[in-house]
Structure 1
Amino acid sequence: MSYEQIAQEPAPKRKQRFLLHFLCSWALLGVLLAAPVAQANASMLSREEVVAYIERSVNAFARSINSHSVDVTVDEFKIPGVCDTPVKMELSDPSRPVGRMTLTLICEQPRYWKTRVKAQSAVTVDMVVAKKPLKRGQSIQGGDLSSKAVNIAYVRYSYFTEKKKLIGKVVSRNVSAGRVLTPRLVEMPEWVKRDDVVIIEARRDNMLARMKGIALESGSEGDTIRVKNITSEKEIQATVSAPGTVSTTF
């Protein structure tokens, strides 16, 4: 309809027509503005994204302890809805994601929601274990040791991955066969015992003097103990450097 035809209509009808055009225009504008925003911002987090996040966390931890054996299982879960902002993901123990764990998912907009995902991971490491029962005070030999792949989720203390680091150490308590050896279960052997006659090596620059002494304390490698010089009868502080030998400077 032309402008002239609209102008010839009665005033009430013209007013009604213009009001209808006005409302239709605003409705169309609202649709054009709102629809693209919802499509661009709102998104549904997928199961694949959640699983990938857990696997990345577990694999990063495995690399930090030189493990190349990882297995991750994620329980079934549901995402409550879409989220306009990136979903926050928080592991129950991000520094040690092994064994049973919980991943908390949090969305802030368009409405707040939170859900928890249960998962389990196994990260195995080749650890040194007792090949046979070991008795307290026993000096460890190569034949006493073996290696076994162990899920680190069940080991709460430090452990050994090299047998040579245990050779010559002494068992501090009885150990059953197959048990993982930890620093709590072994100790350094006493290279010097109290009242033993020892060799005192005294160094100064390129000079080295040796003399006999009496150990006033027991000690292992690297320990500093009190020793009495037999010749001068003076008491000195010396470091246990070898079986039956202590070192000092003068």
Structure 2
Amino acid sequence: MHFIKDISVSTRMSIVFTLFLVSFCGVAQPNLHELIQEQTKDYVLNTLINDADADTQVSVRQLDARITVPKCAQAFEFESPNYDPRLSNISVKVSCPHLNWFTFVNASVVTIQKVVVSADTLSPGALLTSQNIALADVSKNSLRGSAFRSVEEISGARLKRRVRPGTVINASMLCFVCKGDRVTISAIAGGLSIQVYGIAEQDGTLGDTIAVRNISSDKRIVATVASTDRVTINI
């Protein structure tokens, strides 16, 4: 009986030691699949996206468990030669050059950006103010055309078409100076500025060149839109 008891105790101690050894080795050995996932996420965020102004969420698809990942003494390298910022799915090549090993990892990217949207249903000709436009979080991949990042940037502009609440406002929808508007023409020559009044003959947003008729001389000139009521020319 004593002999059997001693064998039982010895067996239990052996099992405990084996479990401890397995547990210890599991902690000591890095999970290379998880390591590649984490490093792929860092690569996408810090190298491909690299936009401090945007809130970017990256989800890396789990590497197939059947893929054997080697220990790479020189660190894994990452590249995405076909990267297109307009797409939400990215394929990243992960390689260990000195072992001539590589695999591909897929990542999904959603970038949230604050842009100006309409707060109400607005009709053509509506004057944009802080009362009818606001900032909203929008997926960057869904944006079409140029969007605006501040309400102040387009306050005073007018809409050229009807929009519904939540519509992202872009430059093609607006005119800062609209056809028929009375504007100040600033003629800049060296350090001097001469101002006369004119009538816009075309719609234009900031930076656009439009045709304007000088009220005093009745001459048609080409000027650059500087604000909602001013255009400039260089002479």
User: Same fold, TM exceeding 0.5?
Assistant: yes
Other structure's SS at 1:54 match: helix
Q: For residues 26-65 of structure 1, what are the structure 2 equivalents within 5 Å?
A: 46-60=32-46, 64-65=51-52
Tell whether the 8 Å contact from 2:116 to 2:134 is kept in structure 1 after alignment: yes
Corresponding residue for 2:178?
190
Identical counterparts, % of pairs: 17
Shift of residue 152 of structure 1? 1.7
Corresponding residue for 2:142?
154
List alignment gaps of at least 5 residues for structure 2: 1-29
1:126-170 Cα offsets, whole Å, 9 max, x none, are 221111122233221221112222222322433212101111112
Shift of residue 177 of structure 1? 1.0
Other structure's SS at 1:142 match: coil
Corresponding residue for 2:161?
173
Measured in 1, the distance between the counterparts of 2:174 and 2:104 equals 42
Distance 1:102 1:191, change over 3 A: same
Measured in 1, the distance between the counterparts of 2:197 and 2:114 equals 46
Measured in 2, the distance between the counterparts of 1:211 and 1:70 equals 48
Tell whether the 8 Å contact from 1:192 to 1:245 is kept in structure 2 after alignment: no
Tell whether the 8 Å contact from 2:116 to 2:168 is kept in structure 1 after alignment: yes
Corresponding residue for 1:237?
221
Number of positions where the alignment pairs a residue of Structure 1 with one of Structure 2: 199
Measured in 2, the distance between the counterparts of 1:234 and 1:241 equals 21
Shift of residue 207 of structure 1? 8.0
Q: Of 112, 120, 140, which aligns to 1:132?
A: 120
Distance 1:165 1:103, change over 3 A: same
Distance 1:154 1:107, change over 3 A: same
In the alignment, is residue 89 of structure 1 matched against residue 78 of structure 2? yes
Tell whether the 8 Å contact from 1:92 to 1:101 is kept in structure 2 after alignment: no
Distance 1:104 1:162, change over 3 A: same
| RMSD between superposed Cα atoms in Å | 4.2
Counterpart residue type for residue 129 of structure 2? Q
Distance 1:206 1:91, change over 3 A: closer
Shift of residue 51 of structure 1? 2.6
Shift of residue 89 of structure 1? 2.1
Measured in 2, the distance between the counterparts of 1:206 and 1:105 equals 58
Shift of residue 49 of structure 1? 3.5
Corresponding residue for 2:53?
66
Answer with 1 or 2: which has the greater Rg. Answer: 1
TM-score, structure 1 normalization: 0.57
1:20-68 Cα offsets, whole Å, 9 max, x none, are xxxxxxxxxxxxxxxxxxxxxxxx992344233333244336652512x
Tell whether the 8 Å contact from 2:94 to 2:104 is kept in structure 1 after alignment: yes
Distance 1:157 1:109, change over 3 A: same
Distance 1:58 1:156, change over 3 A: farther
Shift of residue 188 of structure 1? 1.8
